[in-house]
Structure 1
Amino acid sequence: MFFLIFSMLLYFLPTLIGRHKADAMGIFIVNLLFGWTIIGWVIALIWACAAERYVPLRVVPVSSGRFCCQCGALSAYGAHFCAACGRVV
């Protein structure tokens, strides 16, 4: 009985490690379906141990200028033409 419990804990180790991540359900599904292959288990373990990457957002206050409807570039406040493409803002 101890061996069965130990085997299940070892099999679902990636799921236990990654249970607090945003993609915990994906880790669980990969571990459940492909964990019986050594490669699937290692992939789930690496995914569970990997740090979550956050993309830093560049905050641009709208009051600092106007966005060009053609190219999307930010023009200076009070400008009537886009500095990047020359279109009227």
Structure 2
Amino acid sequence: MVAVRLAVLLFLVAYSYSMGQIPPDGLNPFGKLVAGLFFLFAPMLYLLPSYEAWRGNHHNLIGVVLVNVLLGWTLLGWVVGLVWSVLKPASPAMPAAAPEESDSISPPPARATKRCPFCAEDVLYEAIKCKHCGSELPAR
């Protein structure tokens, strides 16, 4: 959308400026209106970087506005302001934080286990056959 707004404003400024180059007695009232609208469209084009920064909730809006207003009269300053206004800040790579322990959520209770006398692996207390070695377990 930035490119569309830029293209439309460039066209309107150029068109109204070109209408203003025609002597006033050669223009009808609409032509005079279009020529006069140059004084509306030119400041809108000049402040486009500030508008884009405001519209995009730029994290450094004041910096963009200052560059646009103070250095925008140079083509380089205006282009820097426009590019800066549309750039998004680089998000720093942060490690994922471990979820905080909450007292309201308790972990499920651990299931009771017993050790298989044949393979020494843990199996559920209710088991009658070891899932690791397949031997019959004595009832405890």
1:51 to 2:95 alignment: no
How many Å apart are 1:56 and its aligned residue? 2.5
1:41 to 2:78 alignment: yes
- Kindly, what percent of the aligned residue pairs are identical? 30
RMSD over equivalenced CA pairs, Å = 1.4
Unaligned runs of 5+ in 2: 1-35, 99-140
1:6 to 2:47 alignment: no
Unaligned runs of 5+ in 1: 62-89
How many Å apart are 1:58 and its aligned residue? 2.0
Q: How does 1:67-82 map to 2 (within 5 A)?
A: none
How many Å apart are 1:59 and its aligned residue? 4.4
State how far apart, in whole Å, the 1-side matches of 2:91 and 2:80 are: 21
TM-score with structure 1 length normalisation?
0.62
State how far apart, in whole Å, the 2-side matches of 1:24 and 1:60 are: 30
State how far apart, in whole Å, the 1-side matches of 2:86 and 2:96 are: 30
TM-score with structure 2 length normalisation?
0.41
State how far apart, in whole Å, the 2-side matches of 1:29 and 1:16 are: 12
Q: What per-residue deviation string (whole Å, max 9, x for no partner) do you get for residues 49-76 of structure 1?
A: 1122111222465xxxxxxxxxxxxxxx
1:25 to 2:62 alignment: yes
State how far apart, in whole Å, the 2-side matches of 1:10 and 1:59 are: 43
The runs of at least 4 consecutive aligned structure 1 residues that moved more than 6 Å come to none
State how far apart, in whole Å, the 1-side matches of 2:76 and 2:90 are: 23
